[in-house]
Chain A
Amino acid sequence: MHFRVPRGGPNRLDEYGTGGPRWSVAGGSLSCTSPLVQTMRLAARIATLALLPTVAAAQAQSDYPATQQGTATSTAATPGTAAETPDDAPRGRLLVVDCPPSHPGAPGAAVGDSATTALVAALCARAGQPAAASIRHVFAPLTDVSNTPKQEEHDEHGEAQAAEQSLGPQFRVHLFGDVKFSAIDSLGARNGFSLGQFDLFGRSQLSDKLSVLTEATLTALPRNTYSARLERLLLTYSPNDYLIASAGRYHSSIGYYNTAYHHGSWFQTAIGRPMVFALDGDIGLLPAHTLGISATGDIPSGALGLRYVAEGGSGRAGQSSAATAPQPALTDNNTPSFNIGVTMRPDRMDGLQLGATLYRDRLTLADTSKRAINELIGGAHALYKTDAVELLGEWLAIRHQSRGGAPANVSRGWYAQASRRFRAVRPYVRYDYVDVAPANQIFAFLGRRSGPTGGVRFDFDALAAFKLQASHLDQTTRSTMNRVDAQISFMF
């Protein structure tokens, strides 16, 4: 058994950071190398035996099982301290004797039995410290930690609990953007690059049943100006799968495309939306947004997979962004809009969805000399989407009837889109058709527009895609247009 003091003498004992020197017992033996304590060897041999009951008592009080604590034994002294023990050497236990600082009033701790107290007092006296001291057990690193939770596992249940118990909601944000180059053969059109929409999407789970969804866009306009719009702001309460109730501004559940694809163009296979689903600020024929309340959920229907949606809002004008061009002719009224819909996703054919919606509103014209218009929009869709194949088809009819008794007029629109994925490349085609009745008091300027679009999408990264497409558009109210567009869209 060797008593050692680290080289440099007693003063270097402070490097352990306790304010007082430490003495260690490695492998059940006290170690101290200073010549000053050589005379203590004999006493330490005796003290080793005296410390065994203390060590055993400490083991019994520890949270660690005895098998992880090592064993306190009175082994023969081995050269070197614990710090010098190689990593692959058998690990023993360290017993650290803390001699308290020498200033008055420093707290001391009872050491144990009288023999131990006497030994520690002697050791501390040799180190120039007061007699009161404490003994701590320092366990060597364990080679087997199979019973100890790993950090990853702490995270796994810690994360969930943290989310549940967090003081504030966690707001998750995704951003979308795109850059486009367009070459158009129309008279007056300019070729060149343009920024698409910068889309900020966020969602926060406020509690177990309450969440908030928000989406804001910055749209680049000519002359380096931007249009900022709050596209969606929706507070959702979802007590179960049969009722998910929301309030706020949302995308109207007319047809499929309007709610499946929002403002992030990265999600869309093609560069732009189908013509019939063009957004309000573009040449929007449909009320793409609604401000109001909505409810959706499952209909108990077994393998049919039916779902319903019911919406009530303030309609096209007023709070809806549809009040902007090209519908400046509309103004507020007190008649709410309603929309109902049913979709079916049968179990037997995974990827298939069928649906129908019916929307009703009353449009009040800004020209007060004209009577209001009853609007009825019916839509049906069928789609089949798998990993490789995408087939979309939607048909809509818009019926306007003046409350003054004039005959009703019906406008129609549809599109069919097909694509097939070959690894990261997805070629696609789409045919758009919109035919607005000449008698329509609001959208007649759109006339009939139709034409094919063909392109290819290349997902060169998991979150970024390059799209190249060519379009031909026949229009009754304008000249025929051909265009080629290239777009890089991404999310981050």
Chain B
Amino acid sequence: MIPPPLRWALGMFALSLLGGAPRAAYAQNSEPLAIVVNRNNPLSEISLADLRRVFRGQRSRWTNGRRVTLVMRDAGAPERDAIIRGLYGLDEAQYRRTFLQAVFSGEAPEAPKTLVSTNGVLRFVYNVPGAIGYVRARDVNASVKMLRVDGRLPGEPGYRLGVTAQ
């Protein structure tokens, strides 16, 4: 016999699922987004689950001991929206609140760096050994290292990070 309050909570749970929660999904008509790290980072491949942890601030160190430095694009950039949807499963407002809360509770070491251009992201990742960021795959150059996500490179079948074509 379930106590009445618990039944009420379960009922609310069922209601909350109506309509379905927004889920991160890779749009078919999208341009692949590459995850880039510093060339000295020993990592060359990462799972989507680990990538989520990194971008949520739940990973503070790389395997070489370097501190993880997150690089985000500025608010409004399609790349940022794609990452916030794809990795955090949130929208912009929720993302800000969630990350601030993570910093507030001490779970995340610090807020991400915000840069306003693709070149800026590439230069930052090039200059900061522990940096990780994202750019459109066509913008990746030799100054940074592109990570395989779940064993796939941008553009390969099954790759799940992309910017919806405008």
State which of B21, B97, B100, B123 has its C-beta within 8 Å of the C-beta of A389: B21
What distance in Å separates the Cβ of A453 from its nearest Cβ neighbour in chain B? 11
Cross-chain contact A391 with B49 (CB below 8 angstroms) = no
Q: Please, how many angstroms separate the alpha-carbon atoms of A244 and B16 in the complex?
A: 36
Residues of A in contact with B, size category: 35 or more
Q: Please, how many angstroms separate the alpha-carbon atoms of A372 and B94 in the complex?
A: 47
- As a 0/1 sequence over residues 45 to 66 of chain B, the CB contacts with chain A under 8 angstroms (1 = contact) are 0010100110000011100010
Quick check: is B28 within 8 A (CB to CB) of the other chain?
A: no
- As a 0/1 sequence over residues 424 to 465 of chain A, the CB contacts with chain B under 8 angstroms (1 = contact) are 100001010100000000000000001010000001001100
Cross-chain contact A161 with B127 (CB below 8 angstroms) = yes
What distance in Å separates the Cβ of B141 from its nearest Cβ neighbour in chain A? 14
Quick check: is B93 within 8 A (CB to CB) of the other chain?
A: yes
Q: Contacts A351-B89, A429-B12 known; A416 to B5 CB distance under 8 Å?
A: yes
Cross-chain contact A201 with B104 (CB below 8 angstroms) = yes
Closest to B47 in A: A347
Q: Please, how many angstroms separate the alpha-carbon atoms of A449 and B53 in the complex?
A: 39
Q: Contacts A156-B115, A387-B94 known; A419 to B123 CB distance under 8 Å?
A: no
Quick check: is A208 within 8 A (CB to CB) of the other chain?
A: yes
Cross-chain contact A420 with B93 (CB below 8 angstroms) = no
Residues of B in contact with A, size category: 35 or more
Q: Contacts A152-B116, A156-B127, A418-B9 known; A387 to B91 CB distance under 8 Å?
A: yes
Quick check: is B124 within 8 A (CB to CB) of the other chain?
A: yes
What distance in Å separates the Cβ of A342 from its nearest Cβ neighbour in chain B? 16
What distance in Å separates the Cβ of B158 from its nearest Cβ neighbour in chain A? 17
Quick check: is B76 within 8 A (CB to CB) of the other chain?
A: no
Task: Give the chain B neighbours of A246 by CB distance below 8 A.
Answer: 106
- As a 0/1 sequence over residues 192 to 226 of chain A, the CB contacts with chain B under 8 angstroms (1 = contact) are 00000000010101001101010000000000000
Cross-chain contact B22 with A236 (CB below 8 angstroms) = no
Quick check: is A374 within 8 A (CB to CB) of the other chain?
A: no
- As a 0/1 sequence over residues 69 to 96 of chain B, the CB contacts with chain A under 8 angstroms (1 = contact) are 1000000000000000000111111101
Q: Please, how many angstroms separate the alpha-carbon atoms of A463 and B104 in the complex?
A: 14
Task: Give the chain B neighbours of A282 by CB distance below 8 A.
Answer: none
**Which A residues, 378 to 394, have Cβ-Cβ distances below 8 Å to chain B?**
386-391, 393
Q: Please, how many angstroms separate the alpha-carbon atoms of A416 and B110 in the complex?
A: 31
Q: Contacts A157-B123, A387-B91 known; A205 to B109 CB distance under 8 Å?
A: yes
What distance in Å separates the Cβ of A434 from its nearest Cβ neighbour in chain B? 12
**A156, A172, A259, A416, most chain B CB atoms within 10 A:** A156
Quick check: is A57 within 8 A (CB to CB) of the other chain?
A: no
Q: Please, how many angstroms separate the alpha-carbon atoms of A303 and B88 in the complex?
A: 17
Cross-chain contact A203 with B110 (CB below 8 angstroms) = yes
Cross-chain contact B97 with A267 (CB below 8 angstroms) = yes
- As a 0/1 sequence over residues 146 to 177 of chain A, the CB contacts with chain B under 8 angstroms (1 = contact) are 00001011001101110000000000101000
Q: Contacts A157-B127, A416-B9 known; A152 to B22 CB distance under 8 Å?
A: no
Residues of chain B whose beta carbon lies under 8 Å from any beta carbon of chain A? 5-6, 8-9, 12-13, 15-17, 21-22, 47, 49, 52-53, 59-61, 65, 67, 69, 88-94, 96-97, 100-101, 103-106, 109-111, 113, 115-117, 119-121, 123-124, 126-128, 131
Q: Please list 6 pairs of residues, one from A and one from B, whose beta carbons are closer than 8 Å in the complex, sorted by A's number.
A: A152-B117, A238-B60, A238-B109, A241-B60, A260-B105, A431-B5
7 A-B pairs besides A156-B115, A429-B12 with CB distance below 8 A are A153-B123, A205-B110, A209-B67, A261-B101, A387-B94, A418-B12, A433-B5
